[in-house]
C-alpha cells in the first residue's frame, strides 16, 4: 500500500522560483522534483552512516567517577537499598 501525505513547506521565494523553472524544464511536477531530491539526500545520509563516517561526536564530561561498579550486582543492589 502506498501512502501519500500532503505537507506544507516554507520555501524561500528564490528557491521556489528555481524549483518551478527546473520542474518545467524536466516536464515534471514540483512535488515529484522535491520528493526525488529528498530521497537522494536521505539515501546519501544512509550510505554515510553505514560506512561509519560522519557520525556525531557524543558529548563527554567529568562526572567525578563512578560510586558503584555497576557490573557487580551485589554492590549495585546494596547501594540502591541505602537511604
pTM over 0.75: no
CA gyration radius for the chain? 25
Q: What is the DSSP secondary-structure string of 54-69? A: SPPPPP-------SS-
pLDDT reported for residue 18: 95
Spatial separation of the C-alpha atoms in residues 74 and 83, rounded to whole Å: 16
Neighbours of 33 (CB within 10 A): 17
pLDDT reported for residue 51: 58
Q: What is the pLDDT of residues 21-66, one digit of tens each?
A: 999 999 999 999 999 999 988 887 665 555 556 677 788 877 777 7
Amino acid at each position: 500500500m502506498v501512502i501519500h501525505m500532503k505537507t506544507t513547506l516554507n520555501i524561500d521565494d528564490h528557491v521556489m522560483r528555481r524549483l518551478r523553472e527546473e520542474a518545467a524544464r524536466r516536464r515534471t511536477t514540483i512535488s515529484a522534483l522535491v520528493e526525488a531530491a529528498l530521497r537522494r539526500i536521505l539515501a546519501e545520509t544512509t550510505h554515510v552512516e553505514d560506512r561509519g563516517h560522519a557520525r556525531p561526536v557524543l558529548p563527554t564530561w567529568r562526572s567525578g567517577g563512578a560510586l558503584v561498579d555497576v557490573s557487580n550486582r551485589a554492590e549495585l543492589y546494596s547501594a540502591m537499598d541505602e537511604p
